[in-house]
Amino acid sequence: MNYAIESLDNPAGSPGDRILFLLKTRGPASTTQIAQALGGTAEAARQQVQKLLAAGLIEGRQQNAAGAGRPRQDWVLTASGHGRFPDSHAQLTIQLIGSVRQLFGEAGMEQLIARREAETRAQYLGAVAGQAQLGQRLETLAGLRRAEGYMARLERDGEDWLLIEDHCPICAAAQACQGFCRSELEIFREVAGAGAAVSREEHLLSNARRCVYRISAAP
């Protein structure tokens, strides 16, 4: 699914930071699209792109041309570019997970996940209590996730909703123990309610650039 690149309504930081944010939230973009999004000239965008390229924060990716002519080159974040959106206390988190496994085994790890799941469930369900409309519950969920650093937003896709998370602040923990992702999906289903189906369509840990969840209301 392609999302149109929009202008940045509340820009913060340097032009380079804004380009990184654009590529993080909207995916691959050409120099022309970057210039349009930043509201500047193509030459200014090219200069910023070259700086980011030299710093190893972005790289080019050839896109197949729709018709005759040269393939278009889009810009995407490198691993270093993604690293500019930090994973909260990543190294400490990995060390703590390793210590839990050594001291308490996998059973202890599952208890840790269950405890976090219970606390998150209570927080989320408390926030949507009294909200009968699915869209309202999902907007509340997106707001909670956004406040936690997931760069989350809600979009409509026909009759469905898409919960899109462009960043994962606990990615290191999720890589070390994928039980965290499993518990989040279950909580999303509870927040949506029995009359909705929730599935994960894109997953950072499956080499996607973000996580995307599709929510379908019951017929």
pLDDT digits over 109-136, tens only? 788 888 888 999 999 999 999 999 999 9
Q: Which domains does the chain show, CATH number per domain?
A: 15-82 (1.10.10.10), 90-217 (3.30.1380)
Q: Is the pLDDT of residue 59 over 60?
A: yes
Cβ neighbours of residue 170 under 8 Å, at least 6 residues apart?
A: 87, 88, 93, 180
Tokens 């041309």 belong to residue: 65
Q: Could you tell me the pTM of the whole model?
A: 0.63
* Rg value, the chain, Cα: 20
Torsions phi, psi for 195 (to 5 deg):
-85, 10
